[in-house]
Amino acid sequence: MVSLKLQKRLAASVLKCGKRKVWLDPNEITEIHNANSRQNFRKLIKDGYVIRKPNKIHSRARVNKRLDAKRKGRHTGTGKRRGTREARFPSKVIWMRRMRVLRRLLKKYRESDKIDKHLYHTLYLKVKGNEFKNKRVLMEHIHKEKAELARAKQLQKEGEYRKARAAAKRERIKAREAEKQKKLLEGSA
């Protein structure tokens, strides 16, 4: 068996790959052995005596199958866990996500005039103070708060209306009294 070390190196250089990827035709060893320049190897490659081997397939089928199972919750029991709960899913990340969700909701409500800036501010501080555990709870609180405000406004309006009515009544009574007084004075005169 002749040494084809030089030929392998030249072929690899021409093919622009590693020496392990070069295939030399075992039936044409003599012709390949005589080739000692890149030009010769270009011709051998064209003739098909020297070929670049295809890349090996590194299948991800098994990996994908396992990941699918993991998405369903398999292989994640206590025996498979290496890090602490905090290391696996930090509470800070949970907190940041919650804050961003709730603040985004408040901002959206303020821009669409569902809440005024004063209510926005009080709710913003309550969100920061960990008063709402999720979006649903915050939305329920907003509805309740808005209903409360509307009720207060309605009561105030009713109070003002009552006051106005009472004032008008007093005026009428006063006018009537004045009328009576006038008649009495005219009658006596």
DSSP string for 39-82: HHHHHHHHHTSEEEPPPPP---HHHHHHHHHHHTTTT-SGGG--
Amino acid 142: pLDDT:
96
Q: How far apart are CA 32 and CA 8, in angstroms?
A: 10
pLDDT tens for each residue of 10-54: 999 999 999 999 999 999 999 999 999 999 999 999 999 999 999
Q: How far apart are CA 52 and CA 22, in angstroms?
A: 5
Q: How far apart are CA 31 and CA 48, in angstroms?
A: 12
Amino acid 2: pLDDT:
84
Cα 68 from chain centroid?
Answer: 22
Amino acid 188: pLDDT:
73
Amino acid 189: pLDDT:
62
Q: How far apart are CA 99 and CA 146, in angstroms?
A: 22
Q: How far apart are CA 105 and CA 18, in angstroms?
A: 58
- For the whole prediction, is pTM greater than 0.75? no
Q: Helix (H, G, I), strand (E, B), or coil: what is residue 180? A: helix
Give strand pairing partners of 51: 23
Amino acid 187: pLDDT:
78
Show the low-confidence residues of the chain (pLDDT under 70): 1, 189
| N-terminal to C-terminal alpha carbon distance within the chain | 156
